[in-house]
Amino acid sequence: MSRRAVIAGNWKMHNLQKEAAELTNGIMSELKEENKEALPEVIIAPTFTSLYAANKALKDCGCGKVRLAAQNCYFEEKGAFTGECSVQMLKDAGCEYIIIGHSERREYFGETDEMVNKKAKAILNEGLVPIICCGESLAQREAGVTDYHIASQITKALIGLTKEEVSKSIIAYEPIWAIGTGKTCDSAEANRVIGMIRKVVKGLYDETTGEAIRILYGGSVKPNTIKEQMAQSDIDGALVGGASLTADSFAQIVKGAM
Ligand code: 13P
């Protein structure tokens, strides 16, 4: 089965509205000559306050080559949850995908596997696509518990989801020690862990579901690393942080995945 490649830019806490609009326009300008069908699924994830500006730039362009994601959501539909955004609100803002369980949210904001699972359900219930992040710390890698930890994160994230829901979801394997450090995980090793994740999904569901789910690598992805990463059998794309903040480097990564 062939899986469509995905290149997603996680802007993290960067870009005011004007900058978000400029970056969005810059990316679309870089991709102007590319045939839409030949492109991977290209996703940008601005911070909440810049979603409107990015969505407006996407709509004004109308080329349909780039899609919008949020970096987080809350799993309840509405109510007294000061400071949170529901999936429905993010859908209303133009989002088609939502990143959940990013290691920065787990580390700094106490996001647990149980919350990730509730968020995944809420996202799928609204017809959006969750980008479920997982990854081990350096200490876990050195202790030899990488596979156990990742398998546990994924198993817990998927509790109660149907085959159909899992098939259209996206997982991002982001080793924490590779995020923002310039220390990219060796491509063969990233492929091995991603292959292991695919086996876990096959074990929980079936062969077809495991073959359908897209699994990305994230952690210091750069224009000069993407080709080797995309050449791996199980890596379906990339979740890009730092290198998604300029149109030129993000577009190079997108083109490197074609
Ligand atoms: P960097 O590409 O900056 O390492 O960030 C990766 C990441 O955390 C994407 O979600």
- Digit-by-digit pLDDT tens for the chain (258 residues) are 589 999 999 999 999 999 999 999 999 999 999 999 999 999 999 999 999 999 999 999 999 999 999 999 999 999 999 999 999 999 999 999 999 999 999 999 999 999 999 999 999 999 999 999 999 999 999 999 999 999 999 999 999 999 999 999 999 999 999 999 999 999 999 999 999 999 999 999 999 999 999 999 999 999 999 999 999 999 999 999 999 999 999 999 999 999
pLDDT at 42: 98
- Hey, how many other C-beta atoms are within 10 angstroms of the C-beta on 208? 12
Q: Rounded to an integer, what distance in angstroms lies between the CA atom of residue 10 and that of residue 8?
A: 6
163, 209 in Cβ contact below 8 A?
yes
Which stretch of DSSP H or E encloses residue 43? Answer: strand 41-45
Please check whether residue 6 is in contact with residue 258, taking contact to mean a CB–CB distance below 8 angstroms. Answer: no
The Cα-based distances of 180 to 44, 193, 213, 220, 231 in angstroms read 18, 20, 26, 6, 23
- C-alpha span between 175 and 190 (Å, rounded): 9
The half-sphere exposure of 162 on its side-chain side, counting CA atoms within 13 A, is: 4
Q: What gap in Å lies between CA 55 and CA 182, rounded to an integer? A: 30
For ligand 1, residues with CB inside 6 Å are 10, 102, 174, 179-180, 218-221, 239-243
Q: What is residue 2's predicted lDDT score, i.e. its pLDDT?
A: 86
Distance CA 157, CA 166 (A): 10
pLDDT, position 1: 57
CA–CA gap between residue 156 and residue 115 (Å, rounded) = 10
Q: Structural domain boundaries of the chain?
A: 6-256
Which of 6, 11, 12, 104 maximizes ligand 1 atoms within 8 Å of its Cβ, making it the mutation to test the pocket? 12
228 catalytic? Reply is: no
- Is 102 marked active-site? yes
Active-site entry in 102, 104, 111, 136: 102
Show the tokens assigned to 162: 């149907």
| 122-138 burial: b if 16+ Cβ within 10 Å, else e | bbbebebbbbbbbbbbe
Cβ–Cβ under 8 Å, residues 158 and 196: no
- Report CA(45)–ligand 1 centroid distance (Å): 12
Give backbone dihedrals phi and psi of 191, rounded to 5 degrees, phi first.
-65, -35
Choice from 220, 224, 252 to test ligand 1 binding pocket (greatest atom count within 8 A of CB):
220
- Place domain 6-256 in its CATH homologous superfamily: Aldolase class I (3.20.20.70)
